[in-house]
Amino acid sequence: MRVLVVEDEKKTASFVRKALQAEGFAVDVCHNGDDALAAARATPFDGIVLDIMLPGRDGLSVLRQLRERKNVTPVLLLSARGEVNERVEGLNAGADDYLPKPFELVELVARVRALTRRGGETKSTVLSVADLTLDTLTRQAQRGETSIELTVREYRLLEFLMRSAGRLCGRMMILEKSGIMISTPARTWLTFTSGGCAKKLTRTLNPSCSTPFVARAMC
Task: Enumerate binding residues for Ca ion (CB under 5 A).
Answer: 8, 51, 53
C-alpha to C-alpha distance for 201 and 126, rounded to whole angstroms: 19
Q: Whole-number minimum distance, CB 60 to Ca ion, in Å?
A: 12
Question: Among residues 111 and 156, whose Cβ is nearest to Ca ion?
Answer: 111
Shortest-Cβ-distance residue relative to Ca ion: 53
Q: Whole-number minimum distance, CB 86 to Ca ion, in Å?
A: 13
Question: Among residues 104 and 131, whose Cβ is nearest to Ca ion?
Answer: 104
Question: Among residues 12 and 193, whose Cβ is nearest to Ca ion?
Answer: 12
Question: Among residues 30 and 215, whose Cβ is nearest to Ca ion?
Answer: 30
Q: Whole-number minimum distance, CB 182 to Ca ion, in Å?
A: 32
Q: Whole-number minimum distance, CB 55 to Ca ion, in Å?
A: 8
Q: Which neighbouring-strand residues pair with 115?
A: none
Q: Whole-number minimum distance, CB 154 to Ca ion, in Å?
A: 34
* Sheet strands side by side (includes 146-148): 126-129, 132-135, 141-143, 146-148
Sign of CA dihedral 59, 64, 67, 69: negative
C-alpha to C-alpha distance for 210 and 17, rounded to whole angstroms: 37
Question: Among residues 51 and 97, whose Cβ is nearest to Ca ion?
Answer: 51
C-alpha to C-alpha distance for 83 and 212, rounded to whole angstroms: 54
